[in-house]
Amino acid sequence: MKILVTGASGFAGSHLIEALLAKGHSDVYGTAFGKPDFIASLLQEDHIINVNLTDKTAVRTVLENIKPDWIFHLASFAFVGESFQKGEELLINNLGLQFSILEGLREIVPQAKTLIIGSAEEYGLSEDGELPMSESHPFRPINPYSVSKLAQDMLAYAYAVSYKLNIIRVRPFNHIGERQSPEFAVSAFAKQIAMIEKGKQAELHVGDLSGIRDFTDVKDMVHAYILLMEKGNGGDVYNVGTGVGISMTEVLQKLVGMSKAVVKVVKDESRLRPLDIKEIVADNRKIRELGWNPTIPLEHTLQRVLEYWRNI
């Protein structure tokens, strides 16, 4: 059984590679864009493929060479914060790589089981009575990044129904862990605390903390991805999140409470977005029915993330 993970050098990708190897999968290939970093310690050199996934010909070659049975398609450009400024580039790149994978699937490996990664950000704003967010929550995306994830999701749907491809779609809610970019809030907090502890930074800068989010440990998240590949229904879509909302203020308090230093928190106007979503919490009944449960308490994850930034 051959497995291809796109975006393997990314945050979730690297944890997925670890989990697949730990489960005994030996023939695991990963695509990286630029330097592979962490996964170079996990995969043999000939199983790491440096490729720009927006390049259709290159993607064809990868699929022809590997002929994967499973494809975890994690690659995507992220960075919600910059999303209006670089919105168009983001959208075009995210759709470009999606077309490469879907066209490659259709032409070269139409039998491959494929997991396509969307985002809870596709749902966006909620009205009264719509929380927690089920898979049929209306789409009200509030920035180009969210629109790009929605368009990727819907394009995968279109290919799946039109060409009868074996595609499962997943909409992960926030997930956190070591190796996540400090463009994301929890990593940004932990990194700054580590810097303050080392005396390299005076204050902790934050954006809007009023939002409520649903945080899953990345290790639980990638187990959901593997479970979906094993047991998910082709053509279907699944939320993955704990189902428990927590305010960003509380997450910050927990992290600050773990700090060895006195941390002064300062609101930074430049970190504010035009609009923030008040609450994003998963209705996770569908993935729970397949047997998934979050296993790692938030405090353990936060402690690990803080340790990661202390040691970097």
40 binds a copy of itself (CB under 8 A): no
Site for a copy of itself contains 58 (CB under 8 A): no
Distance of CA 185 to the CA centre of its chain: 14
Q: How many CA atoms lie within 13 A of 181 on its CB side?
A: 12
Strand partners, 4: 29, 71
Residues belonging to the chain: 312
Task: Write down the residue that tokens 């089981």 correspond to.
Answer: 113
Instruction: Give, for 50, the enclosing helix (H) or strand (E).
Output: strand 48-50
Contact criterion met (CB below 8 Å) for 20 and 87? no
Does residue 84 interact with a copy of itself by CB under 8 A? yes
* The one segment of 83-91, 199-207, 214-222, 280-288 that binds a copy of itself by CB under 8 A: 83-91
The two three-digit tokens of residue 33, written as one number:
């864009």
Nearer to a copy of itself, 151 or 298 (CB): 151
User: Can you tell me whether residue 134 is helix, strand or coil?
Assistant: coil
Figure out which of the listed residues 19, 42, 154, 195 binds a copy of itself, where binding follows CB under 8 A. 154
Q: Which of 157, 258, 279, 310 binds a copy of itself (CB under 8 A)?
A: 157
Please report, in angstroms and rounded to a whole number, the separation of the first and last CA atoms in the chain: 35
* Segment interacting with a copy of itself, rule: CB under 8 A, options 29-37, 141-149, 181-189, 200-208: 141-149
Binding mask 93-112 for a copy of itself (x = CB under 8 A): --xx--x-------------
Question: Is residue 125 within the footprint of a copy of itself (CB under 8 A)?
Answer: yes
- Size of site (CB under 8 A) for a copy of itself: 32
Out of 120, 151, 190, 206, the only residue in the binding site for a copy of itself (CB under 8 A) is 151
Nearest CA among 88, 213, 199 for reference residue 143: 88
Q: Is 142 one of the binding residues for a copy of itself (CB under 8 A)?
A: yes
* Residue 159 backbone phi and psi in degrees, to 5: -65, -40
Query: What is the SS3 assignment for 6?
Result: strand
Site string for a copy of itself, 231-250 (x = CB under 8 A): --------------------
Interface residues with a copy of itself (CB under 8 A) are 84, 87-88, 91-92, 95-96, 99, 124-125, 136, 138-144, 146-147, 150-151, 154-155, 157-158, 161-163, 273-275
